[in-house]
Structure 1
Amino acid sequence: MSTVGNRSTRSRAAEPARGPEVAGNPGASMRRAALDGLPELTRPTNVSTDDAQPLSAALLTRLAQLDEGTPEHAYVRNTLVELNLSLVKFAARRFRNRAEPTEDIIQVGTIGLIKAINRFDPHRATDFSAFALPTIVGEMKRFFRDTSWAVRVPRRLQELRIDLAKTADHLEQHLGRRPTRTELAHHLHLTEE
């Protein structure tokens, strides 16, 4: 929201939805209950970045108050996803020279955005966009890692390779020498094979 002189102006997307108030409309009453006094956004994707930040903060606080699995929780989370899609598109620009279609990169980044929304703690003094951007980019990088292998290796084995390298470094520092296969297998709870 921006102020001009003494009057306050809102972007059109932040205006309350105008529609027929039908008695007993469960969708409208659920949205009102979910938002608990916050403005209902008719087009969250059209909200400016300046307006999206305080709205996101308010919605994230509201999301933390709602029980997961309820329609109200889902509505607020979906509104947050739409409101912050510009973060995903911003991160996707970084990878525009890749062979994969931009739509696929945005879709994968949206998964990262949803993970960030689910994990964000509004009570910490952290800006949501600063928290979400690394998660979004990380999800995109994982997508490229999974699709760029010449031979299709299951993700489980790709992640095991990373865990193996980390464990080997950790044990090398702890033991003062390179660990044996037996030590690595024991530490990762795997067989030597």
Structure 2
Amino acid sequence: MTCTAATQRRRHDDAPETDAAFSHLAGLPDGPERRALREEVVGAWMPMAERIAGKYRGRGESIEDLVQVAALGLVKAVDRYDPTRGNAFESYAVPTIVGEIKRHFRDHMWAVHVPRRVQEARNRVRGAVKDLAPAHSDRQPRVAEIAEYAQLSEDDVRVGLEALDSFVTLSLDARLADGDDGYSLSDGLGEADTGFDLVVDREAVKPALARLPERERTILYLRFFRDMTQSCIAAELGVSQMHVSRLLSGCCAALREEVLADTDPGADPAAESADRNTADSGAARSA
């Protein structure tokens, strides 16, 4: 091979001459000599892998991790390269390393799952915005301008712009305002409304309550809504406290049996226990 041909095959200064090493490597059986030569070839091409990794600096991943990913791609290229095909190793290794880095971003860097089509739209939109920025220093490029430059539809550009904010997420504890009075994302989240459970309880026992005698309904109302003690209820109705206690127990037992009678006979014990609690709590809140 002439000097000129060798230069054409090695397009960068960090592309070493390893044709002889690859030819020797292809004929070696697995063993210490082959592993040592393989490590030597990988080390010789590492500057190229580091250069490629540097092109993806500033995209949310540390340069050290990018170099490791690029090194993994380089090792795969070395193991899979076949010198008998006549192609230069560099022309095979560069796409392999770039593909490994892009795969890393696609599979490990997104905070949420994003379809590949959306990821590609995001990358094209990101590149278009970066290229158009010098010509629009006073404003952000418009959707139509990005679409024309990136050769995308305006809808795809809007999807890509939304995906730009999906690459990383904020913690729920992250403050949304400066200062000590700033609130976090978790402060804006809703909580379960226990009032909905009360609605179910009330509706479940309402028909049974309507069928109770007036005195039993009055006792339930005084006990659970007026928060009166059994002795105060007894004085109010002119009966003994023991009688009030028996009436309260009897009312709750009757309501419980009536509510349970409407459930599926094949219900499990846990469901029956829940219905029992519903009857008791519903009687307390719906009398």
Higher RCO (CA-CA < 8 Å; seq separation 6+): 1
Q: TM-score, normalised by structure 1?
A: 0.50
TM-score, length-scaled by structure 2: 0.34
Select the structure that is richer in helix: 2
